[in-house]
Structure 1
Amino acid sequence: MNTDLEAAVYGDLSLTLSEAGTGRPVLILHGGGGRATVTGLAEQLSRSAHTITPVHPGWDGTHRPGWLTGIDDLALAYLHHLHDRRLRDVLVVGSSLGGWTAAEMAVRDTGGIITGLVLIDAVGVHIETEPITDFFALDARGVAEHSWHDADRYYLDPADIPAGQLALRQGNMATMRTLAGNPGMHDPKLLRRLGRVRAPALLLWGESDRIVTPGYGAAYAEAFGDGRLEVIPKAGHLPQIEQPEATFALVDEHLRLTGTGSL
């Protein structure tokens, strides 16, 4: 059963969290599309782990304090939350911008709280030969064609989206611009720092992703101290939605094979 709660991290910042299951802690971080894009993954992992799935501050109408202006701020807030709860042996799973946040957490985790990572089509690093698509320059059709293997199935005409939902989406994109940079979507210092991360990192990539290509994913994985790439056929930027069975199987395996309980 899911439990929704608010957890104070600083005096002016509380996290909105959904929790379920028991066992090893798993922090699940969504991308620009919001928490709904990782709901199925969280449900799957809650069968064998204790899942913690936040809404990033500023998404879906939640409060974002004015000082929270970068992914580094977000990463530190989540690290401080894990520390405050005295959680250990944490697997961090992040999709897209959430994967970037997970990587930034890992390079700052001097206490060894994080013992495994799963980055799903993550942004966050600069690869000279594999540039990140300027997401903010795309119209709705362009977003669909770059994000999905089956663009026609997942394309949503903005004219068909209810006004309230459209306003939330626009607010989410405004927050993403603030945190991720426009059109940056990366931290120029992150790539060289990843070699210091010893937690095993699994990078999952949709073979049809045109936001960040599998080639980008391969370079990302190679930068980690212990990283590997798995490419998922017939999937784009969100393989957990287009190919859930293949994605869930790989994440479940990484959950079993990493962490102090696997030693």
Structure 2
Amino acid sequence: MPDVRPASVATLPDSAPGSPAGGPRPAGRSAVRLPVPTGPVPPWPGEQVPADGGSVYLRHTPYAGDPDGPRGRGLYVHGLGGASTNWTDLAATLAVRLEGFALDLPGFGRSEPPSDGGYSIARHVQAVEAVLADVADRPGPGRGEPVHLVGNSLGGLVSLLVAVRRPDLVATLTLISPAMPVYRVPPAFDRAIALLLLPGIPTLAEKRIRLGAPEDRVRMTLEMCFGDPRRVPEERLAEAVEEMRLRDGQAWSGRALTRSMRGLMTSYLRVGRGNAWRAAQAVQAPALVVWGDADKLVDPRLAPRLATALPDARLQVQPGIGHVAMMEAPEDTARAILALLEETDR
């Protein structure tokens, strides 16, 4: 799950496209029978795979649907400070239709940092693009076909840019509270952004990230990322604490977080074709925008604007849900994604 310290809410961008009078098209809701979980699913196993001159950890969720039914492949991209385990429950639910793959971005989870230490948005895009090509080319049913790309927060922004760069590899695009550029933010967050852009400050931030017990830091993260942290099962809480301890033992984890945040903020300054709002208008794949109306990290009012900017998009706003809908409401999120896939089948 994301591990972002500033408890701020980004406001509407000054130059985001406006919504039409009728608003964006609402997402559908698939009626397909989904598996009934008997308890939390353990994290899916994975392996190291080549990506952008290095390697990343890629988890695999086997297909569990009708052998004779429609099937495809999905790639799931986590947010800032998150990991591939953020997708455990959603991947299990979508397995009725998709063989799933979830990566740890370079420097996160079980992926080592890039060889040159670069954490710009462009570098994350290159890594995801390499993994996407690998997933599409794997042997078995669906080989050579475009992949259904799903991203959250930072991973949503990266996924959007990948979809623009490689439309041949993206069958559909689902963006869950993506970190779209914002240009007017609260004063306290303004100062935090300015500090991250100054030389030397990210190094100080790396040290502060590890202050406090892992349990306390996990609870702080849950408070920011979930609409209602009480929805988190004890097993998931224990997994998050164990993952925090794993990060504490990695020399690069603090650097990956602060430098990726810096890369995200820097990307917001781009104008013209390099701007993500401009890029959204060039997405060719059918798209779905999912947002929780209790998102504390990115203003939910961005949701209809993004769904309008995308040429072929549907919108699902989930009441009472926070920044990580795939974790807090996996079934509702899955039904909207499956409805998109059913629509594209037709």
Instruction: Report TM bin, short chain.
Output: 0.7 to 0.9
| 2:91 is equivalent to residue 42 of structure 1 | yes
Which residue of the partner structure matches residue 184 of structure 1? Answer: 265
The change in CA–CA distance for 1:134 and 1:201 in structure 2 (over 3 A counts) is: farther
Q: What's the CA shift string for 1:48-101, capped at 9, x where partnerless?
A: 211111111111242112253212212222223333553422110111121111
Question: What is the CA-CA distance between 1:172 and the residue it aligns to?
Answer: 4.2
Which residue of the partner structure matches residue 72 of structure 1? Answer: 122
| 2:58 is equivalent to residue 17 of structure 1 | yes
- Residue 5 of structure 1 aligns to a residue whose secondary structure is strand
Bigger radius of gyration: 2
Is this contact kept in 1: 2:121–2:263, CA < 8 A?
A: no
Give the counterpart letter for 2:162 in structure 1.
M
Aligned positions of 1:232-247 closer than 5 A: 232-247=318-333
Question: What is the CA-CA distance between 1:183 and the residue it aligns to?
Answer: 7.2
**The structure with more strand, counted as a fraction of residues:** 1
Identity over the aligned pairs, expressed in percent? 25
Is this contact kept in 2: 1:127–1:216, CA < 8 A?
A: no
Match of 1:116 among 172, 188, 203: 172
| 2:102 is equivalent to residue 53 of structure 1 | yes
Which residue of the partner structure matches residue 28 of structure 1? Answer: 76
Which residue of the partner structure matches residue 250 of structure 1? Answer: 336
Unpaired runs of 5+ residues, structure 2, are 1-42, 64-70, 138-143, 193-208, 210-215
Q: What's the CA shift string for 1:159-217, capped at 9, x where partnerless?
A: x9578346169954531321232772854311112111121111100110021121122
Is this contact kept in 2: 1:205–1:232, CA < 8 A?
A: yes
- Residue 196 of structure 1 aligns to a residue whose secondary structure is coil
Aligned positions of 1:129-140 closer than 5 A: 134=189
Is this contact kept in 1: 2:106–2:127, CA < 8 A?
A: no
Structure 1 stretch displaced more, 245-254 or 138-147: 138-147
The change in CA–CA distance for 1:135 and 1:89 in structure 2 (over 3 A counts) is: farther
Is this contact kept in 2: 1:5–1:16, CA < 8 A?
A: yes
Q: What's the CA shift string for 1:225-261, capped at 9, x where partnerless?
A: 2223210012111122222221221122223223xxx
Normalising by structure 2, report the TM-score.
Answer: 0.63
Give the counterpart letter for 1:36 in structure 2.
T
- Residue 281 of structure 2 aligns to a residue whose secondary structure is helix
Which residue of the partner structure matches residue 111 of structure 2? Answer: 62
Higher relative contact order, chain-length normalized (CA < 8 Å, sep 6+) = 2
- Residue 285 of structure 2 aligns to a residue whose secondary structure is coil
Which residue of the partner structure matches residue 101 of structure 1? Answer: 158
Unpaired runs of 5+ residues, structure 1, are none
C-alpha RMSD of matched pairs (Å): 3.5
